[in-house]
Amino acid sequence: MESFAEHYGAMYQTVNRCLPGADMERIDRAVEYARQKHKDQKRKDGSPYIIHPLAVAEIVAEMGLDMEAILGALLHDCIEDTDASFDEISKLFGKTTAELVEGVTKLTRANFSSSEEQQMENLRKMFMAMSKDIRVVLIKIADRLHNMRTMQYQTPAKQISKCRETMDIYAPLAHRLGMQKIKWELEDIALQYLDPGAYERIMNYLSAHKEQDEAFMHTIQEKVTDRLSSMGIHNTTYGRIKHVYSIYRKMTTQDKAIDELYDIYAFRVIVDTIPNCYNVLGHIHDLFNLVPGRFKDYISTPKPNMYQSLHTTVIGNQGIPFEVQIRTWEMHETAEYGIAAHWKYKQGGAAGDEKDFEWVRRLLESQQDTDAEDYVVSLKIDMFDDEVFVFTPRGKIVSLPAGSTPIDFAYMIHSGVGNALVGAKVNNRICNIDTPLENGDIVEIITSKSAKGPSRDWLNICKSNQARTKIKQWFKKEKREENIAHGKASFEAEMKRLQLPMSALSDGELEAQLLKKLAFDNWDDMYAAIGYGGLTAAKAVGRIRDDINRATRAPVDKNTNPLKTVEDTRQNRHAVNGVIVEDIDSCMIKFSRCCTPVPGDAIVGFITKGFGVSIHRADCPNTVHRDDPRQAARWVRVRWASQDEQPFETTLELDCITRDGLLLDVATAMTTARIRVRELSGKDLPGGRSVFTVRFEVKNVAELEAVRNRLLNIRDVTGSRRGQN
Ligand code: MN
């Protein structure tokens, strides 16, 4: 049984040491609060529950985290295990602390056990995605570390499952975050339960050779220290045996007995400056024989988790090889505490916030390797915002675009499941099939043999391209008659809206010309395509509009003044291409290429010779002659037809810093925004800069601005301009 006083004292001292000047009164209030809340609970060994949060807070303080994180650690089990609420904690200890506690609670509730190897990366991503604030991950790792340290009180079944989870999730995360010390401890404890025989054999071997090992390490240490001191290099040098799990891995991967293993010894030389690291390296290579091919310079090329050191392996005169790691104190700190060292430096007040921010960002970013790059990390983790990770009832993880619904999930499993979908359960409760899924949800699809198949509405509900494609395929195959009827109706409506005669479609020569333009063999095929969503009616009509106009209104174009040719018999103005020209009905409209206006822009029209009215943005440089009396009569007032949803083409030019993969990032951003891109090109300029031109379709200015913001959020995109010409 462990006592409150003992743990409280240890925590108190560690906080004082690691967070000098901390408001201990605030800490005490949190301790008292947690103690009250947990007062009826006991740990498995019979100790009062409060010793667990105290121990976790001590680890968190040891990591060097801040006040909020320590408070969060003290309160981390309150929401899950007691009647404490987010609001209460928020009121008493601040919103940040409450958010940290809530974040830890979410992770506690989620199930991170999965047996399949390829699912591990997704599990770790989900873990990070659910955490949002990196401190939540760190508190959770500290929580796990203390639970591992007290694992002996758990049942054997629980020991195995917790240790597996530690190996699969927590140790790799600690490694990813650069926290070697914690990673090693987690692995060694887990091995103890997962392969007790091997653990014991290694421990027995090590303890049998303890004296021998220590004598060896002492000799080497002395030799190194003597040399460096005589050269005036201030150093801290020590030897250690590598941790048990790393010896275990060497044995299993190299299939060797422990006494056949080489390099189980590692020495560290810690010095004050980087030049001295290289000086030390020279002396080591002078004192001992170098093992070729083992030298690594992680100072000039840090590891992805920011680890820096020089590594070399040498052989002393006893013929025993050993590794030497040479680093500065700052590198040492980073190697031991990883991302948490960030707070240590920050509290020192020396480094600016900007630099710290960069440090964390790079640390997390460099881990991503091939993953999408558009995430921002300050203290928040937004890197997986585009994805949501959910489980099948059997524990398999499915990754979907954020905002996905059970419909997307069903089609991700199999098109047969999607087509037979009649309902869904999320976390064991029946819910609507358009409910957005959240990280960690367990999703079960209810299917029926008598299901009528997908509904057209699903195309608007689902978020994944996979689901949309499969739904369209179904309509294409199963519902040709219905598709034709459906497609024909929308096509006719569109023709009517643009005042184009349906009779053009059966007009011998013209019919063939139009079908060719549309790339269909007959009208039914085209109606079917519109019906299942492969083509929009607006697009189809748009493609043949000019041909029909030319054929049916040919005499009109010969007239010198297009204004006079327009029948103006109706009172109601008709929108053409979404634009209403005041005083003129049904004239030809074209959008100027110089300023590519979209709905919402202020616009003016200019009557061209023979090509109808061309629409410019009011601020287009080409409209400056509006007041010129010779042309004034040709400028007409125009406005957008409000309810029109037809897409408009526009162009953005992006100023960028040249980078491989940037074009792909732009393309990806456009795809995820569901924007139809007509043209995407880039050219490099001198000085490491590039300009990209994106021509695409939007419905209005609001959408255009949304796209523009999205593009500006891409790394290395520095500016944007509405396209000229
Ligand atoms: Mn806990």
Average pLDDT (667-690) is 83
Residue 725 has pLDDT above 50, yes or no: no
Q: Which residue has the higher pLDDT, 228 or 570?
A: 228
Instruction: Determine the distance separating the centroid of ligand 1 and the alpha carbon of 53, expressed in angstroms.
Output: 7
Q: Which of 378-392, 566-580, 597-611 has the highest mean pLDDT?
A: 597-611
Q: What is the pLDDT of residue 56?
A: 96
Smallest CA-to-CA distance from 645 within 702, 695, 603, 724 is with 702
Average pLDDT (19-46) is 91
CB neighbour list of residue 677: distance below 8 Å, 6 or more residues apart: 667, 670, 694, 695, 696
CATH of domain 648-722: 3.30.70.260
How many Cβ atoms from other residues are within 10 Å of residue 392's Cβ? 15
Among the residue ranges 181-195, 368-382, 453-467, 679-693, the one predicted with the least confidence is 368-382
Size of the chain, expressed as the number of residues it contains: 725
Residue 28 has pLDDT above 90, yes or no: yes
Instruction: Determine the distance separating the centroid of ligand 1 and the alpha carbon of 143, expressed in angstroms.
Output: 5
**Residue 689 and residue 657 in contact, taking contact as beta carbons nearer than 8 Å:** yes
Q: Which of 26-40, 279-293, 643-657 has the highest mean pLDDT?
A: 26-40
What 3-state class would DSSP assign to 449? coil
Q: What is the pLDDT of residue 530?
A: 87
Spatial separation of the C-alpha atoms in residues 658 and 639, rounded to whole Å? 40
Residue 194 has pLDDT above 50, yes or no: yes
Cα angle 246, 252, 253; round to 5: 85
Residue 399's H or E segment, with its range, is strand 397-401
Smallest CA-to-CA distance from 132 within 364, 451, 457 is with 364
Residue 645 has pLDDT above 60, yes or no: no
Token code pair at residue 601: 């822009």
Q: What is the pLDDT of residue 476?
A: 80
Q: What is the pLDDT of residue 344?
A: 53
Q: Which residue has the higher pLDDT, 162 or 585?
A: 162
Spatial separation of the C-alpha atoms in residues 656 and 140, rounded to whole Å? 39
Q: What is the pLDDT of residue 628?
A: 72
Residue 354 has pLDDT above 70, yes or no: no
The active-site residue, picked from 40, 68, 81, 323, is 81
Residue 343 has pLDDT above 60, yes or no: no
Residue 378 has pLDDT above 90, yes or no: no
CB neighbour burial string for 142-153, b if at least 16 within 10 angstroms, e if fewer = bbbbbbbebbee
Average pLDDT (478-485) is 81
Q: Which residue has the higher pLDDT, 356 or 721?
A: 721
Q: What is the pLDDT of residue 304?
A: 67
Residue 370 phi/psi, 5-degree rounding, is: -95, 0
Instruction: Determine the distance separating the centroid of ligand 1 and the alpha carbon of 167, expressed in angstroms.
Output: 18
CATH 1.25.40.80 fits 4-194, yes or no: no
Q: What is the pLDDT of residue 48?
A: 92
Q: Which residues pair with 722 in a beta bridge?
A: 652
- Mean model confidence pLDDT for the chain: 82
Distances (CA, A) of 393 to 375, 403, 440, 540: 30, 20, 11, 44
Instruction: Determine the distance separating the centroid of ligand 1 and the alpha carbon of 76, expressed in angstroms.
Output: 6
Residue 361 has pLDDT above 60, yes or no: no
Query: For the segment 52-81, what is each residue's pLDDT rounded down to a tens digit?
Result: 999 999 999 988 888 999 999 999 999 988
Q: What is the pLDDT of residue 700?
A: 80
Cα angle 512, 491, 595; round to 5: 90
Average pLDDT (418-431) is 89
Among the residue ranges 198-212, 248-262, 638-652, 672-686, the one predicted with the least confidence is 638-652
Q: Which residue has the higher pLDDT, 409 or 637?
A: 409
Q: What is the pLDDT of residue 342?
A: 57
Q: Which residue has the higher pLDDT, 341 or 547?
A: 547
Instruction: Determine the distance separating the centroid of ligand 1 and the alpha carbon of 211, expressed in angstroms.
Output: 39
Q: Which residue has the higher pLDDT, 569 or 386?
A: 386
**Residue type for position 44:** K
Average pLDDT (659-666) is 83
Average pLDDT (685-713) is 86
Q: Which fold has domain 356-476?
A: Ubiquitin-like (UB roll) (3.10.20)
Q: What is the pLDDT of residue 350?
A: 38
In the DSSP assignment, the letter for residue 170 is I
Residue 356 has pLDDT above 80, yes or no: no
CA torsion through residues 460, 464, 469, 474, sign = negative
CA torsion through residues 187, 372, 129, 467, sign = negative
The active-site residue, picked from 80, 195, 263, 507, is 80
Q: What is the pLDDT of residue 16?
A: 92
**Residue type for position 404:** S
Among the residue ranges 537-551, 573-587, 591-605, the one predicted with the least confidence is 573-587
Q: What is the pLDDT of residue 76?
A: 94
Residue 560 has pLDDT above 70, yes or no: no
CATH of domain 202-341: 3.30.460.10
Instruction: Determine the distance separating the centroid of ligand 1 and the alpha carbon of 56, expressed in angstroms.
Output: 8
Average pLDDT (501-515) is 84
Spatial separation of the C-alpha atoms in residues 455 and 467, rounded to whole Å? 12
Q: Where are the domains of the chain?
A: 4-194, 202-341, 356-476, 479-552, 562-640, 648-722
Instruction: Determine the distance separating the centroid of ligand 1 and the alpha carbon of 188, expressed in angstroms.
Output: 20
Crossing angle of helices 341-348/353-365, nearest 10°? Answer: 170
Q: What is the pLDDT of residue 163?
A: 94
Residue 366: pLDDT band with limits 50, 70, 90: very low
Share of the chain above pLDDT 70, in %: 85
Spatial separation of the C-alpha atoms in residues 412 and 424, rounded to whole Å? 14
Residue 357 has pLDDT above 50, yes or no: no
Distances (CA, A) of 362 to 160, 188, 337, 369, 716: 35, 29, 16, 12, 15
**Residue 569 and residue 524 in contact, taking contact as beta carbons nearer than 8 Å:** no
In the DSSP assignment, the letter for residue 228 is H
Q: Which residues pair with 334 in a beta bridge?
A: none
**Residue type for position 657:** I
Token code pair at residue 442: 């367990």
Among the residue ranges 8-12, 154-158, 172-176, 392-396, the one predicted with the least confidence is 392-396
Residue 157's H or E segment, with its range, is helix 156-165
Spatial separation of the C-alpha atoms in residues 161 and 140, rounded to whole Å? 17
Smallest CA-to-CA distance from 381 within 65, 573, 103, 626 is with 103
Residue 573 has pLDDT above 60, yes or no: no
Average pLDDT (236-265) is 87
Task: Answer yes or no: same fold for 4-194 and 356-476.
Answer: no
Instruction: Determine the distance separating the centroid of ligand 1 and the alpha carbon of 146, expressed in angstroms.
Output: 8
**Residue type for position 691:** V
Distances (CA, A) of 160 to 117, 157, 164, 202: 17, 5, 6, 20
Q: What is the pLDDT of residue 36?
A: 94
Active site (annotated) includes residue 81: yes
Share of the chain above pLDDT 90, in %: 30
Q: What is the pLDDT of residue 45?
A: 86
